[in-house]
Amino acid sequence: MPELPEVETVRRGLSPVMEGARIARAETRRDGLRWPFPDRMAERLTGARVLRLGRRSKYLLADLDTGETLITHLGMSGRMLISGHQLGEFQHDHPAPEKHDHVVLDMDNGARVTFNDPRRFGAMDLCETATLGDHKLIRVLGPEPLGNTFDEPYLQAALSHRNSPIKTALLDQGIIAGLGNIYVCEVLFRTGIHPTRKAARIAPARIAGLVPIIRDVLSEAIESGGSSLKDYRQADGDLGYFQHNFRVYGREGESCVTQGCTGRIRRITQSGRSTFYCAQCQR
């Protein structure tokens, strides 16, 4: 599933095409994805101007001049693809419709934004912009890890009474918004913390040390265009390449990259997800 860096990369790709442009025509090619589309979604989107394209956690947020916000979640395999617009040196013409093109937005600048989702775990919803913070998907989220409200004292307090493993605690979207499985594995490796350690039993200084590493890992991933493992693509169709920088994720059985370490990367399952770590480097 796309995590914060992938969604932020998509947002940055869509922004030049969508911000300030009007949706000349919106088309929905099915009734919904993970859940039904909101009533008259295509009609409510058609003619609306995109004032701002933002992101909250793993959700894309398009604020419209109609006073509504379009919320988009990419799910497991969702892609937002651009055609008919100059991207750098290349012109991406409109391709023929594909089987899994479920929502199509034709912008008044000639661009087309297509939401393609083979597994249909993605979602779209509309809500009043003024009450976005109260939306059921948004109100449960913790602070953004790249935002000003996410700092050492916050994380120390949030984890001080958590008896769950640190890996599980960091995946809790109510504690940190947008941090997912790949990047938690990478963060814990860089900080030398074993993924099964109980969060509340980790020294406050080590918890504080997670904050800058979380920021560094996410920032590096965004600059690399995210991680492409299966379905993820950037808005221009290109692959992300942060997966080439993985130090533990997906490297089961391979040698640890830490100089002087003779260990190999192990994999365990935590809460139904694979965790990758080095037992020698992480304690």
CA dihedral sign, ordered 61, 271, 218, 176: positive
Active site residue 58: yes
Q: Which two tokens stand for residue 144?
A: 């953004």
Q: How far is CA 222 from the centre of its chain?
A: 10
Q: What is the Cα–Cα distance from 86 to 143, expressed in whole angstroms?
A: 35
State which amino acid sits at residue 91.
Q
Active site residue 273: yes
Q: What is the Cα–Cα distance from 110 to 101, expressed in whole angstroms?
A: 18
Angle of CA points 115, 117, 121, to nearest 5°: 115
Q: Which two tokens stand for residue 237?
A: 């169709």
In sequence order, which residues have a C-beta less than 8 Å from that of residue 58 and are 6 or more positions away? 1, 2, 3, 4, 7, 73, 74, 177, 178, 180
Q: What is the Cα–Cα distance from 157 to 175, expressed in whole angstroms?
A: 10
Q: Which of 55, 58, 79, 112 is catalytic?
A: 58
Q: Which two tokens stand for residue 169?
A: 């605690």
Active site residue 2: yes
Q: Say which DSSP state 66 is in.
A: T
Q: Say which DSSP state 69 is in.
A: E
CB 63 within 8 A of CB 52: yes
Intra-chain end-to-end CA distance of the chain, in Å:
28
Residue 64 host element (H or E)? strand 59-64
Active site residue 3: yes
Positions marked catalytic = 2-3, 58, 273
